[in-house]
Amino acid sequence: MSTTDAPAHAPGPRTSRPALEVSHVDVSYAVKGREVRAVRDVSFSIARNESYGLVGESGSGKSTVALAVTRYMPRNGRVSAGSIEVDGKDLLAMSPAALRELRTRTVSVVYQEPGRALNPSMRVGRQVAEVFELAGADRRSARERAEAMLGRVQIADPGRVMGAYPHQLSGGMLQRVVLAMAIASDPALLVLDEPTTALDVTVEAEMLELVSELRRELDTSLLFISHNLAVVARMCDRVGVLYAGEVVEEGPARELFAQPRHPYTVGLLRCVPDPSARKGDGGLDTIPGFMPPPGAVAVGCVFAPRCALADDRCRTLAPELRDVGAHRSSRCHHAERAAELPRAERSPTGRARAVPGAVRTAGADGAAGTREPVLRVRALSTTYRSRGVAVRALAAVDLDLYAGETLGLVGESGSGKTTLARALLGLVAPDDGSVVELDRVALPADARRRAPAQLKALQMVFQDPDSALNRRWSVRRLVARPVRKLAGLTGAALADRVADLVAAVRMEHRHLALRPGQLSGGLKQRVAVARAFGGEPRVLVCDEPTSALDVSVQAAILNLLVDLQVREQVTYVLISHDLAVVRYLADRIAVLYLGRVMEIGPADTVFSGPHHPYTEALLSAITRLEGAADSRIRLEGEIPSAASPPGGCAFHTRCPVRLASGVCESVEPPLASVGGGHEIRCHIPVGELRRLQSGERDGDPVVAGATWRHPSGAT
């Protein structure tokens, strides 16, 4: 089988043995007295110094593989067939002592949640030093080496971090600490299980760069597990695609993503919103159907029920993983014509004309000023007290929302996006003097004081459907309640409306009797969307509506939101950390930083520039599928605490192009119009921004920022 061939391009310096050799592995869980196979016949090998990626959606078995290669199986799980060799040693035959030794010296793992990998009651320094002590160092030298190791993962102030407790550090910093602990033993194999999923894009970009650098320095092989195709494409030499516990395709990363040879990979790649895709161009592709649950008995190909290329042979005869080119293999009867997979979904209506935002954007320049906004926000501030310290989460935000448009809100975590949404809805108390007007009538600050019509006008889709849906209620009750309460329908009219809503989110009548716990993540979010539309809102706030979902499900939800917007003429406020999602849906974009609007304008203009240096950093931090990693701008450090925001321009501490005159440190720039409804909060004149961002800048951007002099000093 080709998967077990060591690739030619990775000769190992230590030995020629592969760092990890997984052959024909089955992993089963005992569930209610039944053996459920979560992983079937998985084989792959990772050569010395090679970086291997495993991609797949939730439920594909990728984390199970990560657990199996370290033998950290839950008590009900076991490797029921096949063999795993780490550094030439048979993992499955190891004694507990040998296993401990292996985990100390040969294999290290970094998980998704760094906060859970560290002991909350121990100082960070102690925990890092322990790794060296386990390897035999005495206490003092262990401490010194721990500090050096923290420096190596580019922690600017290792001494301070050593003395801190985990809760005092940010997620990105913690992940660096965990990484330092993982590489401290100079492992032969480093397993990274979704290492950046919990992080912001800017932090993710830094983290990935750090891992790449460390890989060059260390003699370490990498098993990189992620649901994010772009991240895997960037980080890995070779990639395996997992579906329903099987490797369905394998090959060198670049070739695999450029020319996928399995319909699932093709479908998955099409689900990712293209950076140039806009909602007016038509719907996103989705993969119809659902992944079979672990343990489902499949006759024929596991992907056949969802595959538009499937024929009778696919449905009766399970394909073997077979060679389809140099170092490429695919588990498909039709691998050669996988790229011909028909487009699963294209909106049949001419959406370009139907999307109001698209029309508006076309003639947006200046026109925005003449129309009446649905929602008008002036000087919206919120301050909450945390341990006696006043934290200003929002600082005098001004916004106008027009009928039928989508306003995208972007920014790192801690930028105030969610606070802004909750303040609009009256779930968070704003400071005195804040104004939120609906049709020129001021809304009471607290949702409890708002009139029914005002409540009806503003609704929300929450980020996490598990939290947002009452788990004791049936779908019918969840959807019907707002219809009854807000739209005032009863009896047959109520039942009809509920049926309409459920059909509109493409669920079926039989789903009505189920509770949220019986639905998949995507279906739960559909219920949440249906519920939000139940009150016939005029403004719908969507807080990260797809961040908890897989890409194929995300595409379906985004399509749904666009279709509903066309039908119901609803205004959206879309909060997302995923700029591709924002770009796809938004007509206008507001960029938030420390509770301030740094830039606002039509989506195309904000994306094409000239933009605020912060926006530029956010945009260049996106890990893209196509093209090499060309992070032009890297932000220093992390977003400062809102409890003590920097004086002057809030962004100056991280700004790569701040002015040498010192004005950025002392004076907060105004949000100034640069034409076409586009406003930027920066001291640097727009012409200079355009010149800076057109690529003429030479050398390292940080250095450029230090040397670049603004002609007049200040504006």
Partner 1 sequence: MSVVAPAAGAALAPREREAAGGRGGLARRLVRSASFDVGCAILGFWVVCAVFGASFAPHPALAQSLLATNSPPSATHLFGTDQLGRDVLSRVIVGARSILVVAPLATVLGTAAGTALGLAMGYVGGVLDVVVSRVVEAVLALPMVIVALLFIVATGHSTATLVVVIGFVFAPLVARTVRAAVLGERELDYVAAARLRGEGAARIMFAEILPNVASPILVELTVRLGYAIFAVATLSFLGFGIQPPTPDWGADIAANYSVIPAGYWWETLFPALAIASLVVAVNLVSDGVEGVISS
DSSP 75: T
Q: Per rule CB under 8 A, is residue 300 in the interface with partner 1?
A: no
Q: Per rule CB under 8 A, is residue 500 in the interface with partner 1?
A: yes
Q: Per rule CB under 8 A, is residue 470 in the interface with partner 1?
A: yes
Q: Per rule CB under 8 A, is residue 45 in the interface with partner 1?
A: no
- Least distance in angstroms from the C-beta of 563 to partner 1: 4
Identified binder of partner 1 from the candidate list 441, 442, 503, 660, rule CB under 8 A: 503
Select 187 or 416, whichever has its Cβ closest to partner 1.
416
Is residue 66 within 8 A of residue 191, CB to CB? The reply is yes
Identified binder of partner 1 from the candidate list 462, 584, 607, 614, rule CB under 8 A: 462
Select 451 or 714, whichever has its Cβ closest to partner 1.
451
What is the distance between the terminal CA atoms of the chain, rounded to a whole angstrom? Answer: 67
Q: Which range in 94-102, 192-200, 342-350, 594-602 contacts partner 1 by CB under 8 A?
A: 342-350
Q: Per rule CB under 8 A, is residue 151 in the interface with partner 1?
A: no
Q: Per rule CB under 8 A, is residue 139 in the interface with partner 1?
A: no
**243 forms bridges with which residues in the sheet?**
246
Helix (H), strand (E) at residue 701: helix 701-707
- Least distance in angstroms from the C-beta of 38 to partner 1: 13
Identified binder of partner 1 from the candidate list 183, 247, 302, 458, rule CB under 8 A: 458
Q: Rounded to an integer, what distance in angstroms lies between the CA atom of residue 230 and that of residue 227?
A: 9
Identified binder of partner 1 from the candidate list 94, 134, 259, 290, rule CB under 8 A: 290
Is residue 304 within 8 A of residue 264, CB to CB? The reply is no
Q: Which range in 36-44, 146-154, 263-271, 518-526 contacts partner 1 by CB under 8 A?
A: 518-526
**DSSP assignment of 539-555, as one string?**
EEEEESTTTTS-HHHHH
The site map against partner 1 for 524-563 (x = CB under 8 A) is --x----x---x--------------------x--xx--x
Q: Take residue 429 and report the two structure tokens written for it.
A: 């108390």
Q: Rounded to an integer, what distance in angstroms lies between the CA atom of residue 236 and that of residue 224?
A: 7
Select 93 or 442, whichever has its Cβ closest to partner 1.
442
Q: Which range in 182-190, 405-413, 453-461, 657-665 contacts partner 1 by CB under 8 A?
A: 453-461
Count of residues in contact with partner 1, rule CB under 8 A: 66
**DSSP assignment of 451-473, as one string?**
-HHHHHHEEEE-S-HHHHS-TTS
Q: Per rule CB under 8 A, is residue 296 in the interface with partner 1?
A: yes
Q: Which range in 206-214, 280-288, 313-321, 396-404 contacts partner 1 by CB under 8 A?
A: 280-288
Is residue 13 within 8 A of residue 49, CB to CB? The reply is yes
Is residue 278 within 8 A of residue 358, CB to CB? The reply is yes
CB-neighbour burial class of residue 299 (10 A; exposed 0-12, middle 13-18, buried 19+): exposed
Q: Rounded to an integer, what distance in angstroms lies between the CA atom of residue 109 and that of residue 61?
A: 17
- Least distance in angstroms from the C-beta of 236 to partner 1: 29
Identified binder of partner 1 from the candidate list 567, 647, 666, 673, rule CB under 8 A: 567
**For residue 350, what are the CA distances in angstroms to 280, 353, 558, 586, 690?**
8, 6, 17, 18, 35
Nearest CA to 252 out of 441, 88, 51 is that of 51
Identified binder of partner 1 from the candidate list 187, 195, 252, 482, rule CB under 8 A: 482
Buried b (16+ CB within 10 A) or exposed e, 656-691: bbbbeeebbeeebbebeebeebbbbbbbbbbebbee
Select 3 or 286, whichever has its Cβ closest to partner 1.
286
Q: Which range in 256-264, 359-367, 391-399, 521-529 contacts partner 1 by CB under 8 A?
A: 521-529
Identified binder of partner 1 from the candidate list 79, 153, 519, 551, rule CB under 8 A: 519
Q: Per rule CB under 8 A, is residue 507 in the interface with partner 1?
A: yes
Q: Per rule CB under 8 A, is residue 506 in the interface with partner 1?
A: yes
Q: Per rule CB under 8 A, is residue 585 in the interface with partner 1?
A: no
Q: Per rule CB under 8 A, is residue 674 in the interface with partner 1?
A: no
Please list, in sequence order, all residues whose beta carbon lies within 8 angstroms of the beta carbon of residue 126, skipping any fewer than 6 positions away: none
Identified binder of partner 1 from the candidate list 283, 613, 645, 656, rule CB under 8 A: 283
Q: Per rule CB under 8 A, is residue 455 in the interface with partner 1?
A: yes
Identified binder of partner 1 from the candidate list 361, 382, 459, 605, rule CB under 8 A: 459
**For residue 510, what are the CA distances in angstroms to 414, 513, 666?**
41, 6, 62
Q: Rounded to an integer, what distance in angstroms lies between the CA atom of residue 474 and that of residue 279?
A: 32
Which residues in the 418-437 window bind partner 1 by CB under 8 A? 422, 425-427
- Least distance in angstroms from the C-beta of 472 to partner 1: 4
Is residue 212 within 8 A of residue 235, CB to CB? The reply is yes
DSSP 622: P
Q: Which range in 108-116, 133-141, 503-511, 647-655 contacts partner 1 by CB under 8 A?
A: 503-511
Q: Per rule CB under 8 A, is residue 299 in the interface with partner 1?
A: no
Dihedrals φ, ψ of 166, to 5°?
Answer: -50, -40
The site map against partner 1 for 301-340 (x = CB under 8 A) is ----x-----------------------------------
Identified binder of partner 1 from the candidate list 452, 662, 670, 713, rule CB under 8 A: 452
- Least distance in angstroms from the C-beta of 400 to partner 1: 22
Ranges assigned E (strand) in 322-448: 322-323, 329-330, 375-386, 389-401, 406-410, 435-438, 441-442
Q: Which range in 81-89, 125-133, 206-214, 292-300 contacts partner 1 by CB under 8 A?
A: 292-300
Q: Rounded to an integer, what distance in angstroms lies between the CA atom of residue 520 and that of residue 549?
A: 10
Is residue 650 within 8 A of residue 593, CB to CB? The reply is yes
- Least distance in angstroms from the C-beta of 341 to partner 1: 13
Which residues in the 343-382 window bind partner 1 by CB under 8 A? 344-349
Which three-class secondary structure state does DSSP give residue 20?
strand
Q: Take residue 3 and report the two structure tokens written for it.
A: 């998967």
Is residue 223 within 8 A of residue 244, CB to CB? The reply is no
Select 291 or 617, whichever has its Cβ closest to partner 1.
291
Beta carbons within 10 angstroms of residue 121's beta carbon: 8
Q: Rounded to an integer, what distance in angstroms lies between the CA atom of residue 664 and that of residue 668?
A: 7
Residues that bind partner 1 (CB under 8 A): 283, 286, 288-293, 296, 305, 344-349, 422, 425-427, 447-448, 450, 452, 455, 458-460, 462-464, 467-473, 481-482, 485-486, 500, 503-508, 514-515, 517-520, 522-523, 526, 531, 535, 556, 559-560, 563, 566-567
